[in-house]
């Protein structure tokens, strides 16, 4: 098992803490070369040192980017393409929750921008390299909150009325719909796309902009939450296990395929979301996979 991922190169976004860091440790322990992204270089370098020590694998690289910024996503993609001649697995893990509405450097609502548009753009920018590395995998971390999500095409940026929970639910449903549409577009390429719910995990999730109620609920629920290591198990499984070789366009929880939000199976809505996302990040949707 220790060499299951030997010779493979993996990128984990948001790999400096929580589920992302635990995912990086797990994949590095299986022998992969692992790149992690973070916003702060000192923190990212400390995390990389921790990952090396915990996994016994020195092949851990650091990339710095604020993924809510499209310019930084593009710079990150360029850095990754320069560093890695092959990319066998992309784990889109980065995400967040904000109780209040914030705008990014691009003037977009932060939850949708970071949780959905960042992985959408990064995946598209790295896709040729991933396809050249086939068989390869794209794994996106969603949330059980996708079940409560609704894509409001008339107000994707939550300008009319903002609710942190509603914005989060929408972004996590967008992760699922993006994955299903990506899987359809990648049919026959040898690249699979899967999406997962990691479980309710003890992390610093929502800490940048919490509500009093959320803080109290989190504190009360903390003893019942998964450790980051257990939360990372499904992502590690989807990134590495021979059991899911060739499995694509599926939603997983606890390493098992599950049914997602009914609206996530609406192929017309997924295609519409792809086009809207491509417009928001300045990609030509018609030349994408």
Report, as residue numbers or ranges, the catalytic residues: 168
Residue identified by tokens 């290591």 is 229
| Tokens at 103, concatenated | 């705008």
> Maximum CA pair distance of the chain?
51
* Distance separating alpha carbons of residues 255 and 179, to the nearest angstrom: 17
Strand order in the sheet with 256-258: 60-64, 33-38, 9-12, 89-92, 136-141, 191-197, 250-253, 256-258
Residue identified by tokens 């939850």 is 111
| Tokens at 47, concatenated | 């995390």
- Number of residues written out for the chain: 289
* Distance separating alpha carbons of residues 260 and 272, to the nearest angstrom: 19
* Distance separating alpha carbons of residues 112 and 196, to the nearest angstrom: 18
């Amino acid at each position: 098992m220790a060499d299951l991922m030997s010779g493979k190169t993996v990128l984990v976004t948001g790999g400096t803490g929580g589920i992302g860091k635990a995912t990086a440790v797990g994949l590095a322990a299986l022998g992969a070369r692992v790149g992690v992204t973070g916003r702060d270089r000192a923190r990212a370098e400390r995390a990389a040192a921790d990952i090396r020590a915990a996994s016994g694998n020195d092949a851990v690289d650091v990339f710095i980017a604020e993924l809510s910024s499209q310019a930084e996503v593009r710079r990150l993609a360029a850095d990754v393409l320069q560093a890695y001649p092959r990319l066998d697995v992309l784990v889109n893990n980065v995400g967040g929750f904000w109780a209040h509405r914030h705008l990014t450097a691009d003037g977009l609502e932060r939850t949708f921008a970071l949780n959905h548009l960042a992985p959408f753009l990064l995946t598209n920018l790295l896709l040729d390299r991933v396809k050249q590395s086939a068989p390869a995998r794209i794994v996106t971390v969603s949330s059980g909150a996708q079940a409560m999500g609704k894509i409001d095409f008339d107000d994707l940026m939550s300008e009319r009325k903002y609710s942190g929970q509603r914005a989060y639910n929408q972004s996590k449903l967008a992760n699922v719909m993006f994955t299903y549409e990506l899987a359809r577009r990648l049919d026959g390429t040898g690249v699979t796309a899967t999406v997962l719910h990691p479980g309710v995990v003890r992390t610093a999730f929502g800490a940048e902009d919490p509500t009093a109620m959320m803080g109290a609920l989190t504190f009360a629920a903390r003893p019942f939450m998964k450790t980051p290591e257990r939360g990372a198990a499904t992502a590690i499984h989807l990134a590495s296990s021979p059991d899911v070789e060739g499995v694509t366009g599926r939603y997983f929880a606890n390493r098992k395929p599950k049914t997602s939000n009914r609206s996530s199976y609406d192929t017309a809505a997924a295609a519409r979301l792809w086009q809207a996302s491509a417009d928001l990040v300045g990609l030509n949707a018609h030349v994408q996979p």
